[in-house]
Amino acid sequence: ADEALSPPDLRTALGELRIYEAELEIQNEELLDSRARIEESQRKYFRHFDLAPVGLIRLNLKGQILEANILGAQMLDETRTLLNTVPRSFLAHVSPESHVVFQQHLESALASGKMETCELSVRNTAGHETFVRIQSVVSHSEKDQKDFYVTLTDLTERREIEQKLELQKALAEAAVTSKELFFGMLSHELRNPLTPLVALLEDLATEPGRSAKDRAALAIMRRNLDLETHFIDDLLDLTRVTSGKLELHRETTDVHLCLRQAIEICQLDIDAKKLQLAIDLGAPRHFVDADASRLQQIFWNLIKNAVKFTPAGGRIAVETRSDEPSRLSVEFRDTGIGIDSWALSHLFEPFFQIERSLKQRTGGGGLGLGLAICRAITEAHGGSLTAISAGLGKGTTFCLELATVAEPHTQLRRLSTSTPAPARREGLRLLFVEDHDDTREVLARLLSRRGYCVEAARNAQEARSLSSEKVAERVGL
């Protein structure tokens, strides 16, 4: 029989047993805690990997799928358990035209050790293509094995939006082009019928023996024809501006000379309304690199506007100054009807006009293109055109600024706009080409009445035929 434990030994054994029991409880708690941590880690993995809002795929260096999350498997239309157990080539899901792009993408990620990005189309097992952004980075496993971690982001919606935007842009550009072509053709077709009318009116006005009543009627016709011509010119200029085809023939130009010429053109209108005109051309540097005719067009428009919107007996001031040595400022001030703040912010927009009642009260009208064209021409010269008004009834100031250039040592005298007629008319043979029938007929008749021997052609081919038969001393197109 076993020898019975003495009471001291029994107490010792019981103490050791309690220690072992406590250690087992601690170990059990640690195991339970480890299990809880593992389960939490698995839940986090499930949330972060499986439930990620993008496709997540792990590839080996051969490009075979080792693991895919739920969305990744859905995007490839593959069974997830099969993907995670049987390695399959990801390249099989890449569109054939993108194979090289994807292979280069993986090579770049492997070489750089950084995240690389590319965009391409992937196919699911049903053959449906999805445009995706692929981001790949190389990761080292516990066994120091390299894998690719790849994200797939569906860009289908973004691409559809981009395609719609591109289509809308193309349609808008086509609409702008069509509008420009329409205005160009319309302006050309409107101008053609006016040319013979202007020529006939000019001829009728110079005929001797006309009564004052007839001359007044002819003057009214001519003014309205000039107005129509101005509208057409504005349409043509707008077409050139919007299409970027505004041509400038720049040269060293005297701004003061252009201003005087523009004022001279408007002088009759200024006198008719009994307006006071103050001219202060005090800028010491007043030469600019500009197209003189376009510059005069701006000045004419601004002076005409001041005359139009200033009541009879009002005041207009034209002033030049050089606040900076290299800048020239030209100001046009009037005591006219002024402009409110809202209209001021839209003043230089094409086709913008002040309300109809205002136009009727001031005898205005027009197409609302003049100021838009003036600003476009100014900016094409590298300058600026601004308008200031304290409000209705408080007048308006337009300020044009341009960069100055050195004054030329010698200035060539400008040729007169009206070239004198040749000394000899009788028997002088003229050949000109004009495709508009009425214009061709009127010009031929007027030139014949002035003693010229005229040959008129419809086109270049007809002109060549006529010129081969008879030698012309002057040719016009």
Domain holding 79, by residue range, is 53-154
pLDDT per residue as tens digits for the range 444-461: 888 887 788 888 888 888
- What are the structure tokens assigned to 440, written together? 């061709």
CA distance 296 to 263: 10
Q: How much is the pTM?
A: 0.53
Listed in sequence order, the residues at least 6 apart from 439 whose beta carbon sits closer than 8 Å to its beta carbon are: 192, 195, 196, 199
Residues paired with 151 in a beta bridge: 56, 135
Last residue of some domain: 240, 261, 284? 240
Do 337 and 269 belong together in one domain?
Answer: yes
Q: Tell me if 125 sits within 8 A of 78, measured CB to CB.
A: yes
How far apart are the C-alpha atoms of 263 and 132, rounded to whole Å? 66
> By the 8 A CB rule, do 316 and 310 touch?
yes
Residues 6+ apart with CB under 8 A from 27: none
* 422 domain residue, yes or no: no
Is position 410 within any domain? Answer: no
172 assigned to some structural domain: yes
Element (H, E) at 38: helix 7-45
**CA 255/CA 295 separation, integer angstroms:** 8
Rounded to whole angstroms, the Cα distance separating 341 from 344 reads: 5
Asked if residue 414 belongs to a domain, the reply is no
- Residue 182 sits in a domain of what CATH number? 1.10.287
**What are the tens digits of pLDDT across the range 262-311?**
999 899 899 999 999 999 999 999 999 999 999 999 999 999 999 999 99
Q: Quick check: 133 pLDDT over 70?
A: yes
Q: Are 73 and 182 part of one and the same domain?
A: no
Q: What is the three-class DSSP state of 162?
A: helix
CATH number of residue 464's parent domain: 3.40.50.2300
Question: Which segment, 82-86, 190-194, 220-224, 440-444, is predicted with the most confidence on average?
Answer: 440-444
In 111-125, which positions are buried (b, 16+ CB within 10 angstroms) versus exposed (e)? eeeeebebebbbbee
Q: Mark whether 290 and 329 lie in a shared domain.
A: yes
How far apart (Å, rounded) are the C-alpha atoms in residues 284 and 286?
6
How confident is the model over 129-155, as a mean pLDDT?
Answer: 88
Banded pLDDT at 354 (limits 50, 70, 90): low
Cα separation, 301 vs 230, in Å, equals 11
Same domain flag for 258 and 382: yes
pLDDT digits (tens, 9 = 90+) for 112-122: 999 999 999 99
Check if the beta carbon of residue 10 is closer than 8 Å to that of residue 18.
no
Q: Look at strands 327-334 and 287-290 and give their pairing.
A: unpaired
Minimal CA–CA distance to 84: which of 102, 64, 112, 108? 64
pLDDT band at residue 419 under the 50/70/90 scheme: very low
Strand partners, 386: 399
> Do 126 and 168 belong together in one domain?
no
For residue 287, what is the domain's CATH number?
Answer: 3.30.565.10
In whole angstroms, give the CA distance from residue 402 to residue 250. Answer: 13
Chain segment 321-346, per-residue pLDDT in tens:
998 889 999 999 999 999 988 888 88
Number of domains in the chain: 5
Q: Work out whether strand 146-154 and strand 129-140 pair parallel, antiparallel, or are unpaired.
A: antiparallel
Residue 416 domain-assigned (yes or no): no
